[in-house]
Amino acid sequence: MSDSQETEVQFIENMEEATEYQLKHTPACKVEGHPDSLIVRVKIGLNGLSHPQTEEHLIEWIAIFDGDQELDKVFFKPGQTPEFDFEIAYPYYQTIVQAYCNLHGIFGTYI
């Protein structure tokens, strides 16, 4: 895998054609609206799939962005379930959750 592939965010373009590889890396996001902020509940993996969390292969971080601006980021160790509830304040423009796998790069979900 080249450096450019590692840093390029991978998105599922079409859920009907999504592969298991894509599904188990992609952030699943539940969004709850509030008057002054938004709660974004994030887990990794869609359709009931989950990602390994071992020394050799794991989700190292999950971050939430507004456009290119990183708003918050959490790190995970082997054995820790990669999930987190983010809270972001208004205003925001284009919110994206990204997850980084040490072997497969960054996967994103627009919310």
Per CB under 5 A, residues contacting Fe ion are 101, 103-104
- Between 82 and 95, CB nearer to Fe ion: 82
With CB atoms as reference, the residue minimizing the distance to Fe ion is 101
As measured in angstroms, the least distance from the Cβ of 38 to Fe ion is: 27
Nearer to Fe ion, 21 or 90 (CB): 21
Q: How far is the CB of 15 from Fe ion (least distance, A)?
A: 19
Q: Which is nearer to Fe ion, 60 or 66 (CB)?
A: 60
CB of 65 to Fe ion, least distance (A): 20
Provide the minimum distance between the beta carbon of 93 and Fe ion in the complex, in angstroms, as a whole number.
29
Query: DSSP alpha helices (H): ranges in 1-111?
Result: 3-7, 20-25
**81/44 Cα distance (integer angstroms):** 9
E strand intervals along 1-111: 9-10, 27-33, 37-44, 59-66, 69-75, 83-89, 95-101, 105-110
Q: Which residues pair with 59 in a beta bridge?
A: 101
Q: Which is nearer to Fe ion, 24 or 111 (CB)?
A: 24
Handedness of CA 89, 38, 107, 56 (dihedral sign): positive
